[in-house]
Chain A
Amino acid sequence: MAANKIPRHEMPCQDSKVRAHNFEEVALGYTKEMAVEEAQRCLQCKKPLCRTGCPVEVLIPDFIKQIAEENFEEASKVLKIKNSLPAVCGRVCPQESQCESKCILGIKGDPVAIGRLERFAADFGMKTKKAEMEKAEPSGKRVAIIGAGPSGLACAGDLAKAGHAVTIFEALHVAGGVLMYGIPQFRLPKDIVQTEIDTLKQMGVEILTNQVVGKVTSVDELMANGYDAVFIGTGAGLPYFMNIPGENLNGVYSANEFLTRTNLMKGYKFPDYATPVKVGKNVAVLGAGNVAMDSARTALRLGAENVYIIYRRSRDEMPARKEELEHAEEEGIQFRLLTNPVSIEGDERSWVKSLTCLRYELGEPDASGRRAPVPISGSEFEIEMDTVVVAIGQGPNPLVTTSTPGLELNKRGNIVADPETLMTSKPGVFAGGDIVTGAATVILAMGAGKKAAAGIDAYLKTK
Chain B
Amino acid sequence: MYRIVKKRLLAQGIALLEVEAAAVAAKVEPGQFVIVRVDEVGERIPLTVMDFNREKGTITIVVQDVGYSSAIITTMNEGDAFQDFVGPLGVASEIENFGTVVCIGGGLGIAPIHPIARGLKDAGNHVISVLGSRSADLLILEEEMRAVSNEVVIATNDGSAGVKGFVTDGLAKVLSEGHKVAAIWAIGPMVMMKAVVEYTRPLGIKTIVSMNPIMVDGTGMCGACRISVGNETKFACVDGPEFDGHLVDFDLAMKRLAFYKDEENRAKARLECHHEGGHH
Interface string of B233-244 (1 = CB under 8 A from A): 100001000000
B217 near A171: Cβ-Cβ < 8 Å = yes
The distance in angstroms between the C-alpha atoms of A397 and B239, with both chains bound, is: 12
Partner of B263, one of A172, A181, A278: A278
CB of A413 to closest CB in B, whole Å: 12
CB of B174 to closest CB in A, whole Å: 34
The distance in angstroms between the C-alpha atoms of A352 and B103, with both chains bound, is: 37
The distance in angstroms between the C-alpha atoms of A278 and B24, with both chains bound, is: 33
Residues of B within 8 A of A397 (CB): 219-221
Residue in chain B with minimal CB distance to A251:
B259
B258 near A256: Cβ-Cβ < 8 Å = no
B267 near A276: Cβ-Cβ < 8 Å = yes
A171 near B86: Cβ-Cβ < 8 Å = yes
CB of A349 to closest CB in B, whole Å: 7
Residues of B within 8 A of A2 (CB): none
> Does residue A247 face the partner (Cβ distance < 8 Å to B)?
yes
- Count chain A CB atoms within 10 A of each CB in B69, B218, B267 and give the residue with the most: B267
> Does residue A209 face the partner (Cβ distance < 8 Å to B)?
yes
Residue in chain A with minimal CB distance to B221:
A237
Partner of A349, one of B41, B83, B220, B255: B255
> Does residue A241 face the partner (Cβ distance < 8 Å to B)?
yes
Interface string of B64-102 (1 = CB under 8 A from A): 000011000000000000011111110000000000000
Partner of B87, one of A215, A250, A266: A215
Residue in chain A with minimal CB distance to B263:
A276
Residues of B within 8 A of A350 (CB): 252, 255-256
Residues of B within 8 A of A257 (CB): 216, 222-224
A173 and B263 in contact, given A212-B89, A254-B222, A265-B44 (Cβ under 8 angstroms): no
> Does residue B179 face the partner (Cβ distance < 8 Å to A)?
no
CB of A206 to closest CB in B, whole Å: 15
A215 and B88 in contact, given A250-B255, A270-B263, A276-B267 (Cβ under 8 angstroms): yes
A210 and B84 in contact, given A215-B89, A271-B266 (Cβ under 8 angstroms): yes
How many residue pairs link A and B with beta carbons under 8 A? The number is: 111
A173 and B84 in contact, given A212-B89, A349-B258 (Cβ under 8 angstroms): yes
A212 near B86: Cβ-Cβ < 8 Å = yes
- Count chain B CB atoms within 10 A of each CB in A215, A398, A399 and give the residue with the most: A215
B255 near A216: Cβ-Cβ < 8 Å = no
A173 near B220: Cβ-Cβ < 8 Å = no
A274 and B216 in contact, given A210-B84, A215-B27, A248-B228 (Cβ under 8 angstroms): no
A399 near B220: Cβ-Cβ < 8 Å = yes
A248 near B87: Cβ-Cβ < 8 Å = no
The distance in angstroms between the C-alpha atoms of A215 and B263, with both chains bound, is: 32
> Does residue A239 face the partner (Cβ distance < 8 Å to B)?
yes
> Does residue B151 face the partner (Cβ distance < 8 Å to A)?
no
The distance in angstroms between the C-alpha atoms of A265 and B89, with both chains bound, is: 19
Partner of A275, one of B43, B85, B86, B227: B43
> Does residue B23 face the partner (Cβ distance < 8 Å to A)?
yes
Interface string of A210-250 (1 = CB under 8 A from B): 11100111000000000000000000011101000001101
A217 near B233: Cβ-Cβ < 8 Å = no
**12 further contact pairs, Cβ within 8 A, besides A350-B256, A397-B221:** A181-B221, A209-B84, A216-B23, A216-B24, A237-B219, A250-B259, A256-B222, A265-B44, A266-B41, A276-B260, A278-B260, A350-B255
9 contacts between A and B (CB under 8 A): A173-B86, A216-B27, A217-B23, A248-B226, A250-B256, A254-B222, A274-B41, A274-B267, A275-B216
| A interface residues, Cβ below 8 angstroms from B | 171-173, 181, 209-212, 215-217, 237-239, 241, 247-248, 250-251, 253-254, 256-257, 260-261, 265-266, 270-276, 278, 349-350, 397-399
| B interface residues, Cβ below 8 angstroms from A | 23-24, 27, 37, 41-44, 68-69, 83-89, 216-224, 226-228, 233, 238, 252, 255-256, 258-260, 263-264, 266-267, 270
5 closest Cβ contacts across the A-B interface? A276-B263, A257-B222, A350-B255, A237-B221, A254-B223
